[in-house]
Copies of this chain bind each other. A is one copy, B any other.
Amino acid sequence: MEVYSKAETLELRKKHIGPSCKVFFAKDPIKIVRAHGQYMFDENGEKYLDCINNVAHVGHSHPDVVEAAVKQMELLNTNSRFLHDNLVQYAKRLTATLPEKLSVCYFVNSGSEANDLALRLARQYSGHYDVITLDHAYHGHVTSLIDISPYKFNQLGKEAKKEFVHVAPSPDIYRGKYREDHEDPAGAYADEVRNIIEKAQKNGCKIAAFIAESMQSCGGQIIPPAGYFQKVAQFVHKAGGVFIADEVQVGFGRVGKNFWAFQLQGEDFVPDIVTMGKPIGNGHPMSCVVTTRDIAEAFGASGLEYFNTFGGNPVSCAIGLAVLDIIEQEDLQGNATCVGNYLIGLLKEQQIKHSLVGDIRGVGLFIGVDLVKDQLKRTPATAEAQHIIYKLKERKILLSADGPYRNVLKFKPPMCFSMEDAKFVVDQIDELLTELEEATQSRVKNSLPTNTQYKRKLPTDGSFQLESNNENISPVNGTICRHENGFSGESHTMACKRIRT
């Protein structure tokens, strides 16, 4: 099946692919030749458990997605200047998952195209230009989005922030300005945004938009406290701007209880623009911006046509429809809740056992494990996180570490992730943490005062206020959680061979 050996592939990659395009595990990258469900296989047939691929949302190579694509590709793949059922059918289905006022779609090809268009919509509608973004945010790779992504532009030096960009503190109640012991972190973080708006206005700046991921992903798996978005939206609307919820990483049921992560904030919150991406087509390049009729009409009033060559083509829409069907038919939201709660529970056991585990935060299958050198000071354990990632890779588990300090283990697996997968990965993490603590002679104890341990106010759903036992691994709301890979009976390979990294 292979055309080139791994060494040749690497050599050709060095020759012909831009050096800015990095591989995972640069010291010893992985060559993947096939994938299925939550498993990926390298050129030697070694099986990896995929804990990070939120694009392969309904599982790698899902047969229904392939079938939908083929069926439509054989018939027609053309642009949206012709009428086609798939486009409108998909728009109807997609908007049905959203609050009523979010009814107008623009189909594009990537999260970056979606966020860029969201900015264009906001600016045209508001007549303003400035943007408020969260610290550590990443919204995409095109010029306009690097500009509003501190995760990127901070790397370019102090001069890199443009004047029209205003950075609000990330609503991180573990490591941020207002923490879990604050009486109203949502209000306090929202007040920061209000202050930014007031200061900007004093300087003659006008706010077009506030943009935030509904949960920050690259920013370190941050779940904003419930009520924060409502308050921010009030201030932003008052300033004549709009609220853009970036669901590129976190949408399509990943949080379990809700289809969209912004809904964790409460039913009274509705963004003005929602952008979607990664999971929408299970890997097929497609994405979408959904907004209100008012904003869409204002955008249209400029007279400029919006044409996107590939956006909304019948193949992309057929795939989008198949993904929605699978999420429903396989109750992947139920699975996300159930397996996610179980995984969070197992990780909280690790938190008690290992001093390196500072914080466990998550909802559904979006979970962060914040590693610290010191539980009280919350000093990021960056090197330790990198060590664990590399060691897990040796054990055929794909996990990543992100956040401003690259110390947050980041779970965002395909939504068919099972209880056994969760148990397997946490067992491995347990072993690695034990080894690491023994090697560094750190005490295996929990130095965190017990009274603050579970005090975080997580949004709306009490179900993730898990105690560190296994009570919550049973079915939730009648959902049967996945106990093993639905595609095959293969068991995990316990590859414990150690390679120096």
Chain A interface residues toward B at CB < 8 A: 2-4, 6, 9-10, 12-13, 15-24, 29-35, 40, 53, 55-56, 60-61, 63, 65-66, 69-70, 73-85, 87-89, 91-92, 95, 103-106, 108-113, 116-117, 119-120, 141-144, 146, 152, 155-156, 277-278, 282-286, 291, 296-297, 299-300, 302-313, 315-316
Contacts and interface: CB of A to CB of B under 8 A. Distances in A.
B104 A16 contact: yes
A4 B35 CA distance: 36
28 contacts: A4-B89, A9-B83, A13-B87, A18-B105, A18-B291, A19-B296, A19-B300, A20-B106, A20-B300, A20-B305, A23-B80, A23-B83, A31-B83, A34-B75, A35-B75, A40-B78, A55-B309, A56-B78, A60-B76, A69-B69, A78-B283, A109-B109, A109-B285, A111-B309, A116-B142, A120-B143, A141-B306, A283-B310
Contact of A78 (B35, B76, B81, B309): B35
Among A9, A285, A305, A306, residue most surrounded by chain B Cβ atoms (within 10 Å): A285
A13 B90 CA distance: 11
Summarize A's interface: helix, strand, loop or mixed.
mixed
A15, A60, A120 — most chain B CB neighbours (10 Å):
A15
Contact of A84 (B24, B32, B111, B155): B32
Nearest to A248: B309
A13 B85 CA distance: 9
Given A4-B85, A61-B76, 5 more contacts: A16-B104, A32-B76, A55-B310, A156-B303, A285-B286
B35 A76 contact: yes
Given A13-B87, A304-B156, A82 B23 contact: yes
A447 to B, nearest CB: 35
Contacts of A70: 66, 69-70, 73
Contacts of A30: 82-83
A22 B305 contact: yes
Contacts of A111: 309
B17 A76 contact: no
A305 to B, nearest CB: 5
B88 A22 contact: no
Given A70-B69, A285-B316, A16 B95 contact: yes
